[in-house]
Amino acid sequence: MESVVKRRGDAPEGFFEAEAAGLAWLRAAGGVGTVAVVAVSPGRIELERVDRASPDAGAARAFGASLARTHAAGARAFGARPDGWDGPLFIGRRPLPAAHDRTWGAFYARDRVLPYVAIAEDIGNTTTAEAALVRQAADVIAAGVFDDDEKPARIHGDLWNGNVLWSSDGVVLIDPAAHGGHRETDLAMLALFGCPFLDDVLAAYDRASPLRAGWRERVPLHQLHPLAVHAAGHGRGYGVALAEAAERVLELAAGSRE
């Protein structure tokens, strides 16, 4: 068996162990495949190598249906860690706050948007006015305007195209920031950074687990998190995109009150 080893000499405590716990939790859902962990220790993780294949519509439909099963496996709460893991969470190299909230909006605003907006403003990737706009949107979200009756989903949490590997056995996920969240957040991240045959993925997902009306209009809402994370370290362009998404969220909230 061929494997891939990732090392990080400055890894914070629990860094790769959190990755392994997230992969195991997602795999236990019986939905999308995840890369197998061969071994994990402080500063090091060894993963089974994934044989790559070209994506196609059939594999995309299978991915959408299996992602719905993963989400449906659920989580203990919004912001909850993977079952059996009590350590820290990360998204990329940044800490990801854990929580145990019963409502989504308060958790999402507090722990998935605002921490990264503060960093982005400090380093100049968002202007003061843009940051204020995002905070205004966060206040609306925290107030529960977008809360619904959806239960916490078992989400990957960092579901951009680079973490979706296409193999001869179907999609295999890597590098999760797994936690209890809203399922639309995973789908919005796929849309933000592109995914081959995305329309097929989404159609198959919706057939397997129908999405609530208006989910397409809520995409900017669920993109606030990945945009905030990227604005915190990947350039000014993400700060602009974050403010634009916040503006659309405020427009959507205003429309819901009419």
Angle at 76 between CA 65 and CA 139, to 5 degrees: 90
Pair 229, 91: CB distance under 8 Å = yes
Where do the DSSP E strands lie in the chain?
3-7, 33-34, 37-41, 44-48, 89-91, 94-96, 153-155, 164-167, 170-173, 179-181
Q: Order of strands, edge to edge, in the sheet holding 3-7?
A: 3-7, 44-48, 37-41
Task: Judge whether 158 counts as a catalytic residue.
Answer: yes
Helices and strands: H and E segment counts in the chain: 9, 10
Pair 188, 222: CB distance under 8 Å = yes
Question: From the candidates 122, 139, 149, 158, which is the catalytic residue?
Answer: 158
Torsion, Cα 213 215 221 223, to 10 degrees, reads 170
Where do the DSSP E strands lie in 18-145?
33-34, 37-41, 44-48, 89-91, 94-96
Catalytic residues, by residue number, are 158
